[in-house]
């Protein structure tokens, strides 16, 4: 793909001015609308990555535009010495949607990693003499801050930053490994229902139900990381709801405010009493701006029945991918609008690059997988555009 002038100039400035932790940007984007974004040279792309499962309502959705504008003109931030109606409303909405209900409580931070850090402290508060281990899964991803990194099951990400926060054991993602590891020494088990960064890899059938039984039996907390899977993404409000279980805590972030930074830890039942005054906090966390937008996004997801749209469109999306019949596609995985595509011969990066050349944004979290997580608002037209662009990209290879 040729790089036009404006993008090239910005890319050079990015290379010089931004921390090297960031890779060279694939595009320099200027604006968005619905499932589409435009780059600084005016080219249009179908956005089936949605800022990594973040832009639930797509770009420039009127509900986000109106709520953010109104709240910015009213009250943006006050600190947690003070409450606001927006924050209380959102906590109550999350209690309802997560199923935590009566006895549930919400904590607000500003990102996924912060939600996980709060969950880590919750696990420590469930620790006693002889009960201190936290179990997490190999190849999992829970974020980049030091506590979240300790939970993340990717040694290559951890190695440059050792020593890790102690007390975390990483186990295989099988029911047998869980049964072997879970005993009275475990304070908490932390799991993603579908591992997003690993390439959209679901837990084995029955895993969450077994995890619920075993954690209950041994007094460990079951903490479900729904930062990527949550907020309607998989065709239910939260992925654990497909399994009919209630966790002790759930972490939420990416899709909840369609792009405004906010993260939350919601606790259930007895877990709601573990963190006490002074145990945790955040200056920005739960401010009226972010919570107003999150509340409006959740309301719009309910009003427009996007939970159902995610379920229905997800099936159509996978059928469309399989229908292309490319030998490069080895399988499709996931649930709802969280779709992983297995790509043969470790050519996923090449496929993603060809997609971009055909005006389609998705990503390759590893050499053999594509991740497709479009806005929850996708309809017939966008799916048709996707099919067309994706099949042309595959035909190039």
Q: Which residues bind ligand PLP (CB under 6 A)?
A: 111-113, 116, 141-143, 192, 196-197, 225, 227-228, 253-254
User: Is 108 annotated in the active site?
Assistant: no
- Among residues 236, 254, 386, 390, which one is catalytic? 254
- Among residues 108, 120, 141, 284, which one is catalytic? 141
- Among residues 39, 47, 225, 243, which one is catalytic? 225
Phi, psi of 38 (to 5 degrees): -120, 140
Shortest distance in whole angstroms from residue 94 CB to ligand PLP: 17
Would strands 133-137 and 329-335 be described as parallel, antiparallel, or unpaired?
Answer: unpaired
Chain residue at closest Cβ approach to ligand PLP: 112
Instruction: DSSP for 96-154, please give it.
Output: HHHT--TT-EEEEESSHHHHHHHHHHHHHHT-BTTB-EEEEETT----SSHHHHHHS--
**C-alpha–C-alpha distance, residues 234 and 309, integer Å:** 10
Enumerate residues 6+ apart whose C-beta is below 8 A from 295.
67, 86, 89, 90, 93
Q: 63: buried, middle or exposed (CB in 10 Å: 19+, 13-18, 0-12)?
A: middle
Shortest distance in whole angstroms from residue 77 CB to ligand PLP: 19
- By C-beta, is 227 or 320 nearer to ligand PLP? 227
Answer whether 91's CB lies under 8 Å from 265's CB: no
Shortest distance in whole angstroms from residue 188 CB to ligand PLP: 15
Shortest distance in whole angstroms from residue 146 CB to ligand PLP: 12
Shortest distance in whole angstroms from residue 397 CB to ligand PLP: 28
**C-alpha–C-alpha distance, residues 392 and 374, integer Å:** 19
- By C-beta, is 118 or 393 nearer to ligand PLP? 118
**C-alpha–C-alpha distance, residues 205 and 222, integer Å:** 17
Place of tokens 């500003």: 110
CB hemisphere CA count around 307 (13 angstroms):
15
- By C-beta, is 196 or 202 nearer to ligand PLP? 196
Q: 78: buried, middle or exposed (CB in 10 Å: 19+, 13-18, 0-12)?
A: middle
Would strands 263-267 and 249-252 be described as parallel, antiparallel, or unpaired?
Answer: antiparallel
User: Is 195 annotated in the active site?
Assistant: no
Residue 191 in 3-state DSSP? strand
Shortest distance in whole angstroms from residue 184 CB to ligand PLP: 27
Residue 212 in 3-state DSSP? helix
User: Is 254 annotated in the active site?
Assistant: yes
CA Rg, the chain, in Å? 21
Shortest distance in whole angstroms from residue 21 CB to ligand PLP: 13
Tokens of 94: 């999350």
Torsion angle of the four alpha carbons 13, 17, 21, 24, in this order, in degrees rounded to the nearest 10: 0
- By C-beta, is 123 or 227 nearer to ligand PLP? 227
**C-alpha–C-alpha distance, residues 131 and 111, integer Å:** 28
CB hemisphere CA count around 334 (13 angstroms):
34
Torsion angle of the four alpha carbons 368, 378, 231, 26, in this order, in degrees rounded to the nearest 10: 50
- By C-beta, is 291 or 326 nearer to ligand PLP? 291
Shortest distance in whole angstroms from residue 154 CB to ligand PLP: 12
Active site residues: 141, 225, 254
């Amino acid at each position: 793909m040729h790089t036009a002038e404006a993008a090239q100039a910005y890319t050079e400035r990015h290379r010089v001015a931004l921390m090297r932790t960031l890779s060279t940007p694939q595009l320099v984007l200027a604006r968005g609308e619905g499932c589409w974004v435009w780059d600084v040279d005016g080219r249009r792309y179908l956005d089936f990555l949605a800022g990594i499962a973040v832009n639930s309502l797509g770009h420039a959705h009127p509900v986000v535009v109106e709520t953010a504008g109104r709240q910015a003109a009213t009250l943006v931030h006050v600190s947690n010495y003070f409450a606001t109606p927006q924050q209380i409303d959102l906590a109550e909405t999350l209690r309802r949607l997560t199923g935590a209900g009566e006895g549930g409580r919400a904590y607000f931070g500003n990102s996924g990693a912060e939600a996980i850090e709060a969950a880590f402290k919750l696990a420590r508060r469930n620790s006693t003499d002889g009960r201190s281990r936290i179990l997490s899964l190999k190849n999992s991803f829970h974020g980049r801050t030091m506590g979240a990194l300790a939970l993340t099951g990717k040694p290559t990400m951890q190695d440059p930053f050792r020593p890790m926060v102690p007390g975390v054991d990483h186990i295989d993602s099988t029911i047998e490994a869980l049964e072997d590891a879970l005993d009275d020494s475990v304070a908490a088990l932390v799991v993603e229902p579908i591992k997003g960064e690993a390439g959209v890899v679901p837990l084995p059938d029955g895993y969450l139900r077994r995890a619920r039984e075993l954690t209950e039996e041994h007094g460990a907390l079951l903490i479900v990381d729904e930062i990527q899977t949550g907020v309607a993404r998989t065709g239910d409000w939260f992925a654990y709801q497909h399994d009919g279980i209630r966790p002790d805590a759930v972490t939420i972030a990416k899709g909840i405010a369609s792009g405004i930074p906010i993260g939350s830890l919601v606790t259930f039942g007895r877990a709601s009493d573990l963190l006490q005054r002074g145990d945790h906090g955040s200056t920005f966390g739960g401010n009226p701006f972010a919570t107003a937008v999150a509340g409006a996004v959740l309301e719009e997801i309910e009003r427009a029945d996007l939970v159902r749209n995610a379920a229905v469109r997800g099936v159509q999306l996978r059928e469309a991918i399989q229908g292309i019949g490319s030998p490069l596609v080895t399988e499709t995985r996931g649930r709802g609008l969280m779709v992983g595509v297995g790509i043969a011969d470790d050519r996923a990066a090449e496929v993603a690059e060809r997609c971009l050349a055909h005006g389609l944004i998705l990503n390759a979290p590893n050499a053999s997988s594509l991740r497709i997580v479009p806005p929850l608002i996708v309809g017939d037209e966008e799916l048709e555009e996707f099919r067309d662009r994706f099949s042309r990209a595959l035909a190039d290879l």
